[in-house]
Structure 1
């Protein structure tokens, strides 16, 4: 089913070769689009992949073996909820059609600085069961060569090495699978014995409740922060003590305790700091980075001041307790029952933890 939504946020990636604007589609208030190829798409995309590096998960037989194969290239980044919700489809396509001549290739183009770390990306791909080939694109060289425009981006390449389809954002997965089957048939492979059964994500990868989604991604670093409500506003790049606002409007947020608000993330400077957000969605997530000493950081989530109970997310229990171990996206809330405006509060037990952005689903 095709969904049409308004464009959500714009993330700016600073590159060694210049500045590229990366747009995330399919988020809380975002757009899904499809066309044959973007402006600037390469005429020989498999050549781009053959020359790219480093490969975090190698292509069996090497990148040169992609010649003559049907290839799906997915631009993603592991802390992005939009990218995560696409993974069940990519895994299923590789499993269904891998012996029919299909290769799924992930191009990991990081949004946040911690996603540049190859060891962290390898850990994330292992935890997410991403077993198809993956390329690390820290400087966005492959992104630019492909003319990609956002996360998640999908390129469908036929056995002759031509881009036959391009989709950006979540959705249109049934149409995408039909295109894969068409390209395989053109290449002399018969996919008719592969049943097209429904693909369903679970846990954090479950599709968003689009009809109840009224909150866009919200950054906690000052470069792209909006709707901050603590009295006195943000004090940039300096430790400051913040207090909760008297009330929060929808999509407003605040801090309590001693924090340093930086360009990309906000760091807790003392124990017992809190972060609040008023949202309207089934799911609420927060991208969190661990403390510098590498030890786990306990946190507690409440919804409108109470333990979440049945509305807890996959990374917290019914009492609201969770633990930051890796730098990644954490699901805090999955509302049970009627969806309405709620305030989520996250209280951290000790300093050093970093908060990057809220996302919703």
Structure 2
């Protein structure tokens, strides 16, 4: 006899009495679902961490300079005995990329440089004279701009730089630094490479002091052009092939960076990035004591590539002690326009014979320079141990680095 429905146990109770058939891996199903849900989050976090590492360290400048891309050795080797291809250039100024026919059978000089390196200024001016003097005999001069900072990767910045120096030979823009890597360049240096008409590299080296070393490279250029045009009597010279540089006689110009992990000492190395904060010094020796250590005083905002003036005026300044023949600073104006930077050396205005290429004296004899665009500004010259102070007249100015060119024969500190 069938039990009335009112007396039958509930369906879920009947099911509970039946033995459950559970797959052998069912206890781990929750863990597997958790792993499947967490995997995209973990991968996204890893990619984000990689992007931050590339952008902020351990290298400096544009995109963190791609870790492992440059060897921090005194002389990084050229990666091939033949002239590397130039196909990896992002774009070109002063004409299009030179095709194979344009370089075949020519003597080729390639210079990898940064537009914020003071040594590059001397080298590029010399290359422009070679371009004008030897171009009709078969020399091809090519520049490769490997920027150290994000602003220098823009085409407009490169065009203004070339115009300011009067350069009209082709220049490749290498924002991702692929070409710099192929040629064995280093951040903030000039790598000079000369190839013969067959494309074989005859000489390649990082220049420590271009003014002192380019004469030996010109000797190689003339020898190759004599072989190419034996009917032309090029003037003889006494310079030999460029050998390895003597470190004591050819000091490398040094840079002191002011942003991110490239700051190795002083208050900026310990400061929190991304916000305006006060920097104070109770005693004078705190801002004038240690050579090549930047000391901000007043209100500043440390950032990834530099330090930004949060206020203007005489109470806001950057100080640094140095011993160099020429001093420059990489700076950018505020977003709203140009800015004036007052310059003191040893707490006095610069004398006329100590003014750098970009510095001026006003009617009362006060020394200054105007920041009109992001670039390297040459502030003062004259060897000796000094303390330089830069005071922005208005907030918003970004200072990226100090550059120092030691006197000839002095060791790099």
Of Structure 1 and Structure 2, the greater strand share is in 1
Map of 1:1-361 to 2, 5 A cutoff? 11=60, 14=63, 19-21=68-70, 38-41=77-80, 43=82, 45=84, 48-49=85-86, 52-58=89-95, 62=99, 64-149=101-186, 151-171=189-209, 172-188=213-229, 192-194=233-235, 216-229=254-267, 233-244=270-281, 246=283, 247=285, 248-249=288-289, 250-272=291-313, 273-293=316-336, 295-310=337-352, 311-318=354-361, 319-335=366-382, 339-361=383-405
Any conservation in 1 of the 2:219–2:237 contact (CA below 8 Å)? no
Distance 1:147 1:333, change over 3 A: closer
Q: Give the paired residue count.
A: 324
| 1:254-300, Cα deviation, whole Å (9 max, x unpaired) | 1122211112111112222311111111221111011112x110110
Q: Distance in 2 between matches of 1:182 and 1:212?
A: 25
Q: Distance in 2 between matches of 1:196 and 1:58?
A: 33
- How big is the shift at 1:69? 0.9
Of Structure 1 and Structure 2, the greater helix share is in 2
Q: Which has the higher contact order (CA 8 A, sep 6+)?
A: 1
Any conservation in 1 of the 2:109–2:192 contact (CA below 8 Å)? yes
Distance 1:324 1:15, change over 3 A: closer
Question: The residue matched to 2:340 in structure 1 has which SS?
Answer: strand
| 1:172-208, Cα deviation, whole Å (9 max, x unpaired) | 212101111111222235553357699xxxxxxxxxx
Any conservation in 1 of the 2:325–2:404 contact (CA below 8 Å)? yes
- How big is the shift at 1:234? 1.9
Distance 1:167 1:16, change over 3 A: closer
Any conservation in 2 of the 1:214–1:281 contact (CA below 8 Å)? no
| 1:215-244, Cα deviation, whole Å (9 max, x unpaired) | 8421111311133258x9422222111124
Distance 1:193 1:147, change over 3 A: closer
- How big is the shift at 1:89? 1.9
Q: Distance in 2 between matches of 1:132 and 1:185?
A: 22
| 1:74-102, Cα deviation, whole Å (9 max, x unpaired) | 00111111211212321121122111100
Any conservation in 2 of the 1:50–1:64 contact (CA below 8 Å)? no
Q: Distance in 1 between matches of 2:293 and 2:317?
A: 14
TM-score scaled to structure 2, two decimals? 0.71
Q: Which residues of structure 1 form unaligned runs of 5+?
A: 1-9, 26-30, 199-209
Question: The residue matched to 1:20 in structure 2 has which SS?
Answer: coil
Question: The residue matched to 1:174 in structure 2 has which SS?
Answer: helix
Any conservation in 1 of the 2:208–2:251 contact (CA below 8 Å)? no
- How big is the shift at 1:343? 0.8
Distance 1:106 1:62, change over 3 A: same
Question: The residue matched to 1:217 in structure 2 has which SS?
Answer: strand
TM-score scaled to structure 1, two decimals? 0.80
